[in-house]
A and B are shown apart, each in its own frame.
Chain A
C-alpha cells in the first residue's frame, strides 16, 4: 500500500508539471518552440502512464507508455516540424488574444477548472484523483483556448492535440485506462487525424498561398 501512495504522489506532481507546461504554451509565439513544448508535455503524459500502470487493474497501461512515446512524443511532433519546415513559417502573427493576455486567460481557465471540480462536482475520491480531474479539465480548456485564438493552422492543430492529451490524462489516472482496444483505436484516429489535417494544410497553402485561417472567410450566411 505504501508503494501505491508513492506512485500517487509522483503522478500528482507530474500532472502539476504537465499543467505548468501547458500553460507555457500560451506564452510561445515561435511555432517550433510550441511543438517542442508539446512533445515535452506528451513525455510527461507518458511518465504519468508509467506510474499509473502500477495501480490495481491498470497493468495494460504499460503499453500506453510505448504508444504515447511513439505517437505523441515522436511521430506527431515530427509531422508538425516537417510541416513548419516545408512551409517555412516561423511565428504566430497577431493572435486574437494578445501574447500578454493569453497567460492571464489561461490562469483564469485553471481557476475555473478547479472551481468547477470542487464546487460543482464535489467528488470525494481522494486528493490525487480530484486533483487530476481538475488538471485534465484545465488542460482541455487551455488547449481549446489556444485553438480558437490562434490563426495559424499549425497552432490550431497543436491546441487540438493538447486537448487530446488532457482527455488521455483523465482516462489514465481516473479510470486506470480505457480498455486496450479502445485506446489503440483512439490513438489510431488521432494519428490519422493529424496526418489528414497535415494534407489539408498543404492544400490550403497551395491554394491560398498562406496558412492563416482567418483568410478562410468567404463562406458566410
Chain B
C-alpha cells in the first residue's frame, strides 16, 4: 500500500508529461485529481492502520511511517487534494486571461513531483533521505514559484532557491554532525542515519556535538520552515507563486520542513534533555511571531498579508513545541492541522478575489460579500478563524499553547505571545472586514468564482468549523500518539483536559 502510495504521483507526473506532448490539459487535470484523491484515501487507511497496529517499516528503515509521520502525510495529501480541486478552476481562468504563457500540463507535471517530494519527507525514516527530499521540494517548487516568468516572480524564485539551498546546506552539515555524534556507539549497534535506531541509542550521543548539530539543523530546516530571521524568502515566494501553489507552500511545505526538524528534536531531546532545545525553539518562535505582527499591520497586498500570517503561525507552532509539555506539543500539532486548513482556504479565497478584481491590492478589493457572496463569506469566516476568534479551530490550538506557556512558568514570553496574538487579531480583521463590507468599486460584475473553486472552499470550511467545536476521537487518538512519540513516553492524557480548560 505504501509503495503504491509513493508510486502514484510519479506515475501521474509521467502521464502528465505524455499529456504535454499531445497538448491535452483537461486530461492532465482529471488524472491529477484522480491520483491525489486516491492517495488521500490510501493515506487515511494507512494512518488508521498504523494507529491500531504500530509503525510500518520497509527497505531497511528507508521507509518508516509512524503516527507522527502518518499525520503529516495525511495533512500533506489533504491540502494537496484541496489544491488539486481548486487548481482546476483557477488555472483554467488564469490561462484564459493569458496570465500564463505555458501549457497547463507543465503545472500538473510539477505539482505531482512536488507532492511526491513532500510525501517522501513524511514517509522516510532515514535522516539523510529527509534531507534529500526536503532539498527536492525546493528544487521542484522553485519552478512553480517562478511559474509566471515575470520580473517579480523570477526574483522571488531566485531568492527562494538561493536562500533555501543555503539553509539546507547548513542542515546537511547538522545531519553530518549528528552522524558524527553517533560514531561513539559501537559499530554493530550503529545505525546508518536511521531515525528509529538513533532514538534508541540517543542517550549515548556526544552531547556537545549534538548541541552544535541541532543548532545547524534549526538554522537549516528553520529557513525552510519560515522561521525569522531566515524568513526573507517567504513573503516573496508566497505572493508571487500561482495561488494554489501559495496554499501548498504555506499549508504543508513549511510544515514538512518543521517535521524534519521535529525528528532531530526527538533524538536531541533524549540526549540533552528538553531545556536547551526548548529555549532555542522558543526564541526563534517568538522572534518570528513579533516580526510577523509588525508586517501584518502594514501590508497592502493580500497574498503578502497571508504570507506574513504564515510566518506568525510557524512562530506559534515553534513556540508551542518550545513551551513543551504535553499540552504545548499537542497544541502545536493541532495548530499545524488548523493552520493548514485555514491558510489554504484564505489563499483560495484571495485567489478568486484577485482574479475577479484583477488586483492583489487590498485597497482595491471592496464589497466582496455583495459581489461574490460565497467567496466573500469564505473570506470573512476564514479571517475570523485566522485571527483566532472563538469558536473557530485556531482559537482552540492557540489557547492550548498559551496555557502551556503560562503553566511552564515562562510568563514574560507568554505575555509577548499573547500581545502579538491580539495585535494580529486586530490587523487581520481590519483588512478583511474592509474587503468584505466596504462599498464595491464601479465596473466589477457580480458573479461567483468557478464551481471547483467554491467546492474546494466548502470542503475546507467544514473541518474548520467542526474542529472549533470538538476534536473527534480518531484525531485525538492520532495527536496523543504523535505527542507520545515526540515526548518519548506513553501519554494517557487526552483532550478532556482541553475541554476542561474551555
Flag B294-313 by CB within 8 Å of A: 1 or 0 each: 01001100001000000000
Looking at A12-20, A21-29, A107-115, A156-164, the stretch in contact with chain B turns out to be A156-164
Where the two chains meet, the residues of B that have a C-beta atom closer than 8 Å to any C-beta of A are 62, 126, 128-129, 131-132, 135-136, 138-139, 142-143, 146, 149-152, 154-159, 161-162, 165-166, 169-170, 172-173, 176-177, 179-180, 183, 187, 192-193, 208-209, 212, 235-236, 239-240, 295, 298-299, 304
Do A207 and B150 touch across chains, with their CB atoms under 8 A apart?
A: yes
Question: How long is the Cα–Cα vector from A153 to B154 in the complex, in angstroms?
Answer: 13
A144 closest partner in B (C-beta): B166
Interface residues of A in 116-171 (CB under 8 A from B): 120-123, 140, 144, 147, 153, 156, 160, 163-164, 166-167, 170-171
Min CB–CB distance B165 → chain A (angstroms): 6
Q: Given the known inter-chain contacts A167-B173, A221-B298, please indicate yes or no for A204 contacting B154, CB distance below 8 A.
A: yes
Instruction: Identify which of A164, A174, A179 contacts B128 (C-beta below 8 A).
Output: A179
Q: Given the known inter-chain contacts A153-B158, A218-B151, please indicate yes or no for A185 contacting B172, CB distance below 8 A.
A: no
Question: How long is the Cα–Cα vector from A153 to B100 in the complex, in angstroms?
Answer: 26
Question: How long is the Cα–Cα vector from A171 to B183 in the complex, in angstroms?
Answer: 12
Across chains A and B, the number of contacting residue pairs, with CB separation under 8 Å, is 123
B174 closest partner in A (C-beta): A167
Sample 9 A-B pairs with CB under 8 A, ordered by A number: A170-B173, A170-B180, A178-B193, A196-B161, A197-B162, A200-B146, A200-B157, A208-B151, A221-B298
Do B151 and A207 touch across chains, with their CB atoms under 8 A apart?
A: yes
Most chain B CB atoms below 10 A, which of A182, A203, A213: A182
Give the chain B neighbours of A122 by CB distance below 8 A.
208
Question: How long is the Cα–Cα vector from A140 to B180 in the complex, in angstroms?
Answer: 17
Min CB–CB distance B24 → chain A (angstroms): 25
Flag A186-221 by CB within 8 Å of B: 1 or 0 each: 101100110011001001100110000100111101
Q: How large is the interface on A (under 10, 10 to 19, 20 to 34, 35 or more residues)?
A: 35 or more
Instruction: Identify which of B128, B208, B304 contacts A185 (C-beta below 8 A).
Output: B128
Give the chain A neighbours of B165 by CB distance below 8 A.
160, 193, 197
Give the chain A neighbours of B62 by CB distance below 8 A.
181
Question: How long is the Cα–Cα vector from A204 to B157 in the complex, in angstroms?
Answer: 10
Min CB–CB distance B309 → chain A (angstroms): 15
Do A200 and B176 touch across chains, with their CB atoms under 8 A apart?
A: no
B172 closest partner in A (C-beta): A167
Question: How long is the Cα–Cα vector from A57 to B188 in the complex, in angstroms?
Answer: 11
Q: Given the known inter-chain contacts A175-B176, A193-B139, A221-B298, please indicate yes or no for A200 contacting B169, CB distance below 8 A.
A: no
Give the chain B neighbours of A178 by CB distance below 8 A.
128, 176, 179, 192-193
Instruction: Identify which of A57, A170, A200 contacts B142 (C-beta below 8 A).
Output: A200
